[in-house]
Amino acid sequence: MCPTEAAVERLCAKGIIAVVRADSSEQLLDVARALLAGGVDCIEITMTTPDALRVIARCRQVFSDEALIGVGSVLNADLANAAIAVGAQYVVSPIFDPGIIEAAHGAGLPAVPGAFSPTEILAATNAGADLVKVFPATRLGPGFFRDLLAPMPHLKLTPTGGVNLDTAGDFIRAGAVTLGVGSALVDKKAIRSGDLGVIEKLAAQFVQAVAEARQPAR
């Protein structure tokens, strides 16, 4: 198995990618520790986070192979390359830009572009996307995934936006291979108050919800 395939397998293993958007980079290491303690080991640090590149580099240094640290909210190949240079292990974008896929694959890393319509999702897949981030999934819901996968079962889809503890299992049962979870997991109120036990508990609950949804129907 090549490194890219191994990374994609890890992104899908627990079924949860924590999408970290924060007002400050100060507590992100503690947030990552809480996520890991709860069983979530795939952490996407968005470029909208202050000093995002420095945070990615620091997380790689601290967590090494304990976590898979990716970069999110990547809008062009230059940003992708900058994040890769400091150690990002996968690249996520809210849009489909072939140049971002090329930058990730040039470094031997998974590319997860964003797409919305069936045509755009298939185009991203045909361009080499390892997973396609269906965004914003808030407006689509699990039924969209089920309908889309009926004629195109080869698609590897991950919803972002609208994923919470109430919908996580439904998205998995509808065919999502993993879930991008932001504020429903990385609770900003808990970060501000320093009560990171909340995030650890939420992480464990999301992991359990995915595991239960993946069980064969009885």
pLDDT digits (tens, 9 = 90+) for 89-129: 999 999 999 999 999 999 999 999 999 999 999 999 999 99
The pLDDT value given to residue 216: 85
Q: Which residues are catalytic?
A: 44, 133
Which amino acid does the sequence have at 47?
Answer: M
Question: 179 forms bridges with which residues in the sheet?
Answer: 16
Phi, psi torsion values for 102, nearest 5 degrees: -60, -40
Report how far residue 145's alpha carbon sits from residue 195's, in angstroms, rounded to the nearest whole number.
35
| Among candidate residues 112, 138, 120, the one with its CA nearest the CA of residue 44 | 112
109 residue type, one letter:
L
* 133-168 confidence digits (pLDDT tens): 999 998 899 999 999 999 999 999 999 998 999 999
CA distance 51 to 66: 22
Stated pTM of the model: 0.96
Residue 71 makes CB contacts below 8 A (sequence gap 6+) with 44, 45, 46, 47, 52, 56, 79, 80, 83, 84, 88, 90, 91, 92
Q: Which domains are assigned to the chain?
A: 3-208 (3.20.20.70)
Q: What is the mean pLDDT of the chain?
A: 95
> Do you find a cis peptide bond into 136, omega within 30 degrees of 0?
yes
